[in-house]
Amino acid sequence: MNEKQIHFKNRKILIYGFGKSGISCFNFLKKNNICTIFDDNKKNIPIKLRKQLLNINKLSSVKFDFIVLSPGIDIKKCKISSYLRNNRTKIITELDIFEISYPNINKITITGTNGKSTTSKLLYEVLKNNKKDVRLTGNIGYPVLMEKKIKNNTIFIIEASSYQLDYSKYYRSKYSIILNLSPDHLERHGSFKNYVEAKFKIVKSQSNNDITFIDNENKFLKELVKKNKIKSKIIKIDHFENKKYCKQIDNIYFNNSSNEKNLSFVFSIAKVLKLNLKTVINTANKFKGLDYRQQVIYKSKKLLIINDSKSTSFSSTAPLLESYENIYWILGGLAKKGDKLKLKKKYFSNIRAYVYGKDRNFLINSLPIKISYTSSATLKEVMKNLNNNIKKDNSKKVILFSPCAASFDQFKNFEQRGNFFNKIVKVMLKKIKK
């Protein structure tokens, strides 16, 4: 079906997955279309909408024009896997619906393995402070189809995960940003190659009038650009070029290499968009970051505590391990397939690891031999052991909660995990201050 022929009126549409994305798609499409809902867990669908619920026994007899797939659905492992494979041409995503419905809206799409949320939020605040009508949506937690009162000059910043891009067919972004790429979500994509291809779709879909931003220091990304026929203009971010601007930032949040690179991307994008760079500097100096993403929750002369509960891979944590000394590092949870810690030997002696959770043995075996560690079953036990040790340490120290693993062994999500850590820290600090 040609993109220009696509419309959402009087269509039979199956919405598969009824989380945030699925709900927003349903609400957006239900007025002008016949929408049917399905979720692997029936309990996710409100009782008042059960009339729209797909009867799986009648699936083969129903002909849908489109199947809207939520990001969390894995075709290979879901309840109607064979049906989806046979009807793959009909599969679209929330991003596709947005593109077809608003083809001329300026979109800035940010993807990569690490730093997406931080870069998206910082750029959003910069644009907002430059008096732009800007919306922050996507994987950061705000479905793009929920936005209202969209004007011709509205700018969308869309944080896009590999899950969101994987099944998209029509989505195109005026500006696409790939921050970095390292092995991630291999349990879903099957291989690093497949993961990369999902991310790189955002670049391949661009036209001659579009712009792609990539890290000039990332050899892998540069090779990808060489191997593929890219229509868009490629801007390779030279972080050294932006050093003079980054030096004007007095904010501990940007004291590590990963966030400094995120900041450098924002400066480069701001130049292309012809924004006031002083506004970028002022915004960055006031930037508080996002909860549970390299978040400084306590700071004194001798103690710094960082809550990085969002970290689910070694690659996201490594820059923090390189940025501080005397680190009490807490990690644990459900480890990711193929994940490895890449860290120079000179940093090993700075770190004491406290490992917990279901995959703690795997994580321990992933650590360099010279990094000392303590093993515990739960995060609560970890904090008890750690607290006893820091009492004996009168030097300047950092408690870094950066799990390098998913939270689902002991917590509902990384937010709950981060909140739990904050509560323990609060109690611990009260005892220290007594």
Q: Which amino acid is at 90?
A: K
Q: Which of 50-64, 90-104, 129-143 has the lowest mean pLDDT?
A: 50-64
More confident residue, 43 or 137: 137
Distance CA 220, CA 237 (A): 14
pLDDT surpassing 60 at residue 76: yes
Task: Provide the residue type at 62 as one letter.
Answer: V
Domains of the chain: 3-92 (3.40.50.720), 102-286 (3.40.1190.10), 295-433 (3.90.190.20)
C-alpha span between 346 and 392 (Å, rounded): 24
pTM over cut 0.75: yes
User: Distance (Å, rounded) from C-alpha 172 to C-alpha 106?
Assistant: 10
C-alpha span between 375 and 41 (Å, rounded): 35
pLDDT, tens digit, 9 for 90 and up, residues 1-42: 556 578 899 999 999 999 999 999 999 999 999 999 999 988
The single-letter code of the amino acid at 244 is K
Q: Burial-class residue 364 by CB neighbours within 10 Å (0-12, 13-18, 19+).
A: middle
pLDDT tens for each residue of 213-271: 998 888 888 888 888 889 999 999 988 888 888 889 999 999 888 899 999 999 999 99
